[in-house]
């Protein structure tokens, strides 16, 4: 029956096969070095084009180069939280055994990217706007995103029962996803210091190709780095849970 289901629904069969921790460990172990190598190569190319080969901005001068670190970090912060929300949905609906593991692995990584986006944004804002911080819609919503990550991590560790902790964190991940469109469209809905979308808008991006190239290279590097970190953390989390299960079984046998 399982083979018939996998044949009828190849994608479902793939995700079903990944539910086996040993099979996932092998796949993640094979992918990780390739993605790490891709991240190194993309970072090298992105930093070269961003710091040396791209033009300076006629207003911001060399300060614009912070963009190549800040903007991809902000994109990956939102992508990380999307991962939490999707993992939470999969856990609550299909109870996939890897969903909670993915959420646990992605939350600290997402918090780190969000923190990086906030810090580099402040560094960029000081010479550009004349202030380190303003309570505009974009900055405030990203700060809320950072607290949502911290809340997810705290809630996931607040219960003694792992199943209750996983469900509570999954619900928070889904509810917090409401903040993602607010971050994305805040520059269009409210008057903020941030400029409107210039890369992800419909039509041709309103950014010079010489600046768009390193920005996309850095975004690719960040995505590869995110995936590597999440896969490594997932493998460690699976190993930790296996050790805990073996220790519990041994303690029960002794009793």
Q: How far is the CA of 104 from the CAs of 64, 152, 198, in angstroms?
A: 35, 9, 33
Q: Which two tokens stand for residue 112?
A: 């780190």
Tell me: pLDDT of 255 over 70. no
For residue 58, give the 3-state DSSP assignment. coil
Nearest-5° Cα angle at 169, 164 to 171: 100
Q: Which two tokens stand for residue 234?
A: 């997932």
Q: Residue 146 pLDDT more than 60?
A: yes
For the chain, give the mean pLDDT.
88
Say if CB 163 and CB 95 are below 8 A apart.
Answer: no
Distance of CA 37 to the CA centre of its chain: 19
Q: Can you give the length of the chain in residues?
A: 255
Neighbours of 191 (CB within 10 A): 7
Phi, psi (rounded to 5 degrees) for 61? 60, -135
Q: How far apart are the first and last CA of the chain?
A: 39
pTM score: 0.89
Q: Is the pLDDT of residue 87 over 90?
A: yes
Task: Look up tokens 């041994």; give the residue.
Answer: 250
DSSP state of 19: T
Tell me the mean pLDDT in the region 200-223. Answer: 82
Rounded average pLDDT over 178-199: 81
User: What are 1-15's pLDDT values in tens digits?
Assistant: 344 434 444 445 665
Tell me the pLDDT band of 202, cut-offs 50, 70 and 90. very low
């Amino acid at each position: 029956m399982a083979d018939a289901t996998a044949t009828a629904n190849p994608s479902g069969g793939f995700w079903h096969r990944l539910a086996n921790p040993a099979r996932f460990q092998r796949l993640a172990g094979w992918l990780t070095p390739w993605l790490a190598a891709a991240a190194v190569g993309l970072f090298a190319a992105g930093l070269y084009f961003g710091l040396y080969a791209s033009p300076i901005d006629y207003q911001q001068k060399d300060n614009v180069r912070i963009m190549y670190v800040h903007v991809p970090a902000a994109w990956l912060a939102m992508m990380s939280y999307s991962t939490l929300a999707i993992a939470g949905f999969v856990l609550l609906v299909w109870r996939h055994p890897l969903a909670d593991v993915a959420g646990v692995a992605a939350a600290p990584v997402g918090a780190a990217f969000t923190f990086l986006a906030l810090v580099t944004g402040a560094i960029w804002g000081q010479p550009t706007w004349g202030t380190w911080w303003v309570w505009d819609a974009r900055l405030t919503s990203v700060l809320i995103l950072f607290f949502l990550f911290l809340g997810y991590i705290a809630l996931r560790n607040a219960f003694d029962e792992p199943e209750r902790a996983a469900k509570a964190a999954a619900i928070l991940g889904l509810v917090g996803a409401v903040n993602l469109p607010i971050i994305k469209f805040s520059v269009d809905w409210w008057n903020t210091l941030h400029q409107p979308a210039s890369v992800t808008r419909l039509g041709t991006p309103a950014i010079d190709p010489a600046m768009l190239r390193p920005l996309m290279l850095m975004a690719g590097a960040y995505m590869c780095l995110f995936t590597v970190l999440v896969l490594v953390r997932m493998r460690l989390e699976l190993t930790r849970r296996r050790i805990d299960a073996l220790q519990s079984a041994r303690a029960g046998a002794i009793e």
